[in-house]
Amino acid sequence: MQRLLFPPFRALKGMQCLQLLAPRAAPRAQCDCIRCPLRPGQYSTISEVALQSGRGTVSLPSKAAERVVGRWLLVCSGTVAGAVILGGVTRLTESGLSMVDWHLIKEMKPPTSQEEWEAEFQRYQQFPEFKILNHDMTLTEFKFIWYMEYSHRMWGRLVGLAYILPAAYFWRKGWLSRGMKGRVLALCGLVCFQGLLGWYMVKSGLEEKSDSHDIPRVSQYRLAAHLGSALVLYCASLWTSLSLLLPLHKLPETRPLLRLRRFAHGTAGLVFLTALSGAFVAGLDAGLVYNSFPKMGESWIPEDLFTFSPILRNVFENPTMVQFDHRILGITSVTAITVLYFLSRRIPLPRRTKMAAVTLLALAYTQGCVLFNFIFKISDLDEGIRNI
Whole-model pTM above 0.85? no
d(CA 161, CA 98): 24
What is the per-residue pLDDT for 30?
42
Distances (CA, A) of 295 to 188, 238, 300, 302, 328: 44, 37, 5, 9, 12
Q: How many Cβ atoms are within 10 Å of 225's Cβ, its own excluded?
A: 19
What is the per-residue pLDDT for 40?
43
Distances (CA, A) of 196 to 103, 105, 211, 222, 231: 11, 14, 28, 11, 16
Report residue 51's pLDDT band, with 50, 70 and 90 as the boundaries: very low
In the predicted model, is pLDDT for residue 39 greater than 60? no
In the predicted model, is pLDDT for residue 243 greater than 60? yes
Query: What average pLDDT score do residues 188-209 get?
Result: 91
| Residues 205, 178 contacting (CB under 8 angstroms) | no
In the predicted model, is pLDDT for residue 385 greater than 80? no
Enumerate residues 6+ apart whose C-beta is below 8 A from 194: 156, 226, 229, 230, 233
3-state SS string over 223-260?
HHHHHHHHHHHHHHHHHHHHHHHCCCCCCCCCHHHHHH
Q: 243 exposed, middle or buried (CB, 10 Å; 0-12, 13-18, 19+)? A: middle
Judged by DSSP in three states, 299 sits in strand
Query: What average pLDDT score do residues 355-369 get?
Result: 92
What is the per-residue pLDDT for 10?
41
Give the helix/strand (H/E) hosting 203: helix 178-206
> How many CA atoms lie within 13 Å of 7's alpha carbon, on the beta-carbon side?
20
d(CA 238, CA 265): 16
In the predicted model, is pLDDT for residue 16 greater than 50? no
Query: What average pLDDT score do residues 297-301 get?
Result: 87
What is the per-residue pLDDT for 6?
39
Report residue 32's pLDDT band, with 50, 70 and 90 as the boundaries: very low
Q: 107 exposed, middle or buried (CB, 10 Å; 0-12, 13-18, 19+)? A: middle
Rg (CA), the chain: 28
Domains of the chain, by residue range, sit at 61-248, 250-387
In the predicted model, is pLDDT for residue 227 greater than 50? yes
Distance of CA 57 to the CA centre of its chain: 36
Residue among 189, 99, 201, 91 nearest 153 (CA)? 99
What is the per-residue pLDDT for 171?
93
Query: What average pLDDT score do residues 87-107 get?
Result: 89
Question: How large is the angle between the packed helices 220-245 and 255-284, nearest 10 degrees?
Answer: 150
What is the per-residue pLDDT for 279?
94
| Residues 100, 127 contacting (CB under 8 angstroms) | yes
Query: What average pLDDT score do residues 99-127 get?
Result: 90
Reported residue count of the chain is 388
What is the per-residue pLDDT for 377?
60
Higher pLDDT: 156 or 208? It is 156
Name 296's bridge partners.
299
What is the per-residue pLDDT for 231?
96
Query: What average pLDDT score do residues 359-375 get?
Result: 83
Query: What average pLDDT score do residues 286-300 get?
Result: 86
Report residue 14's pLDDT band, with 50, 70 and 90 as the boundaries: very low
What is the per-residue pLDDT for 212?
55
Residue among 199, 271, 264 nearest 228 (CA)? 271
In the predicted model, is pLDDT for residue 126 greater than 50? yes
Name 299's bridge partners.
296
Phi and psi for 197 in degrees, rounded to 5?
A: -65, -35
What is the per-residue pLDDT for 375?
64
In the predicted model, is pLDDT for residue 22 greater than 70? no
Distances (CA, A) of 111 to 118, 143, 188: 9, 10, 30
